């Protein structure tokens, strides 16, 4: 069955943009460069798989046995599992939604994701398969979460993922998107697109959980969230693993009264490379924002976080702030955390702050004076540092998962952290 005209046309435009664009290298002033030089793009392919009844083990481990309103699992290029028995909502593969409900999809698909925003955005728009479509009609309140999983489990995979979520007026829901991979031996690509539109008065708790494991998964993605009048979105992206990640995460308060809380965390290790650029964009007045991002680095990893607050002209009476912190836990890790501000209007309050630092010796000493050994003090302090963001997940199961992974990463890095911290004592 051919795809609807609007989609064919979009793919065609995207393909043109894709072919015109070189593989980019992202540079910033200072030491920072993100390059895909090592990625052998031509050797990757969108692998196909059959649907399954039993979820793959890694998926089960991450989801636990909590009930859901809807669940979509994409492995490589194929949806292998789609389940939704809640008649009040639509949670289906995007490719299926395009056929069955084009009228629901067309007004939103790519609304804030132009096809010519770079090579990988174009690739995604041209080549996406599978995908997830979430439609929560107005005034629907969901108790159970909606979950989308993107799984890569074989080297050589190219995954072009697209999640579109449309949350109706005064609807309330929780959405979690997972990006998972077991250890794979070789390269893979996840070029993802995520868009969420929260209509007037909607309340959304959104989490992204990324753990691509120790394999060579490259993640180049764009995630964008739009918050309409009096709606509220709480968004917590969590980055716990990925060989190379280059992501753009934007949240737009688009109409008066809209409010967002945006809090993220990352923990990089080994030779991982993480490059995040977030924008809190205030397109209307009387909007509020609150952003906190925290990271920790071990091994020889590199992590760069840049967070921009952008308040456009006419967005009077906007109140927003952004803080970002980064903690170095090894001699060879290197990173930066840069808050920035574009304010094109008076009569707003916008503040920002950023720190890159190491563990505070005074805190370690204090804990030791209570009998707590140094190594344990360090562990507790790092876990405590992340706690502010972890709690913003507001989701006990996911919080426990994130805490456990942080503890595992710290345990794995214990030697080097001890060496690093010990050296300064």
388 binds other proteins (CB under 8 A): yes
Among 19, 25, 366, 415, the residue binding other proteins under the rule CB under 8 A is 366
- Span from 19-27, 169-177, 295-303, 361-369 in contact with other proteins (CB under 8 A): 361-369
Among 1, 362, 396, 423, the residue binding other proteins under the rule CB under 8 A is 362
Taking the least distance from each CB to other proteins, the nearer of 147 and 324 is: 324
Distance of closest approach, residue 362 Cβ to other proteins, in angstroms = 5
Taking the least distance from each CB to other proteins, the nearer of 66 and 376 is: 376
392/309 Cα distance (integer angstroms): 20
237/165 Cα distance (integer angstroms): 16
Contact 83, 114 (CB under 8 A): no
403 binds other proteins (CB under 8 A): no
For residues 313 to 352, the per-residue mask of contacts with other proteins, x marking binding by CB under 8 A and - elsewhere, is ----------------------------------------
303/326 Cα distance (integer angstroms): 9
144/162 Cα distance (integer angstroms): 22
380 binds other proteins (CB under 8 A): yes
Residue 129 to residues 45, 117, 363: CA-CA distances in angstroms?
A: 12, 19, 50
Distance of closest approach, residue 293 Cβ to other proteins, in angstroms = 15
370 binds other proteins (CB under 8 A): yes
Using DSSP's 3-state secondary structure scheme, residue 289 falls into: strand
Taking the least distance from each CB to other proteins, the nearer of 152 and 378 is: 378
37 binds other proteins (CB under 8 A): no
Print the SS3 string covering 293-353.
EEEEECCCCEEEEEEEEEECCCCCCCEEEEEEEEEECCCCCEEEEEEEEEECCCCCEEEEE
Roughly how many angstroms between the first and final C-alpha of the chain, as a whole number?
Answer: 68
Contact 39, 123 (CB under 8 A): no
Distance of closest approach, residue 424 Cβ to other proteins, in angstroms = 9
425 binds other proteins (CB under 8 A): yes
414 binds other proteins (CB under 8 A): no
Taking the least distance from each CB to other proteins, the nearer of 107 and 353 is: 353
Binding site for other proteins (CB under 8 A): 360-363, 365-374, 376-377, 380-381, 383-388, 425
């Amino acid at each position: 069955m051919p795809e609807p005209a609007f989609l064919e046309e979009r793919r065609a435009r995207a393909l043109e943009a894709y072919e015109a664009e070189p593989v980019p290298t992202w540079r910033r002033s200072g030491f920072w460069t993100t390059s895909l030089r090592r990625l052998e793009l031509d050797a990757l392919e969108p692998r196909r798989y059959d649907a399954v009844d039993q979820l793959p083990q890694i998926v089960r481990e991450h989801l636990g046995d909590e009930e859901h309103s809807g669940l979509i699992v994409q492995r490589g290029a194929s949806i292998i599992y789609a389940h939704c028995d809640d008649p009040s909502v639509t949670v289906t593969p995007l490719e299926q939604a395009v056929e069955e409900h084009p009228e629901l999809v067309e007004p939103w698909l790519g609304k804030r994701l132009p096809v010519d925003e770079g090579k990988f955005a174009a690739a995604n728009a041209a080549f996406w398969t599978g995908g997830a479509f979430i439609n929560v009609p107005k005034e629907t309140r969901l108790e159970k979460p909606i979950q989308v999983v993107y799984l890569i489990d074989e080297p050589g995979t190219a995954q072009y993922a697209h999640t579109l979520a449309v949350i109706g007026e005064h609807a309330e829901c929780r959405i979690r998107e997972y990006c998972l991979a077991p250890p794979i031996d070789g390269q893979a690509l996840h070029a993802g697109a995520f868009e969420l539109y929260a209509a007037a008065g909607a309340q959304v708790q959104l989490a992204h959980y990324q753990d691509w494991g120790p394999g060579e998964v490259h993640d180049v993605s764009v995630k964008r969230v739009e918050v309409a009048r009096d709606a509220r979105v709480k968004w917590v992206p969590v980055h716990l693993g990925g060989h190379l990640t280059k992501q753009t995460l934007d949240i737009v308060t688009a109409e008066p009264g809209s409010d967002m809380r945006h809090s993220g965390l990352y923990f990089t290790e080994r030779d991982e490379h993480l490059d995040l650029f977030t924008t809190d964009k205030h397109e209307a007045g009387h909007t509020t924002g609150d952003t906190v991002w925290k990271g920790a680095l071990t091994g020889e990893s590199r992590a760069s976080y840049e967070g921009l607050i952008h308040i456009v002209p006419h967005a009077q009476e906007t109140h927003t702030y952004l803080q970002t912190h980064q903690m170095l836990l090894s001699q060879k890790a290197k990173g930066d955390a840069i808050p920035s501000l574009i304010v094109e209007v008076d009569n707003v309050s916008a503040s920002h702050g950023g720190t890159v630092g190491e563990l505070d010796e005074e805190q370690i000493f204090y804990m030791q004076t209570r009998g707590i050994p140094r190594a344990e003090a360090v562990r507790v302090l790092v876990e405590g540092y992340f706690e502010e963001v972890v709690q913003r997940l507001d989701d006990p199961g996911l919080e426990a998962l994130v805490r456990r992974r942080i503890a595992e990463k710290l345990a794995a890095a214990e030697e080097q952290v001890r060496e690093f911290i010990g050296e300064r004592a």
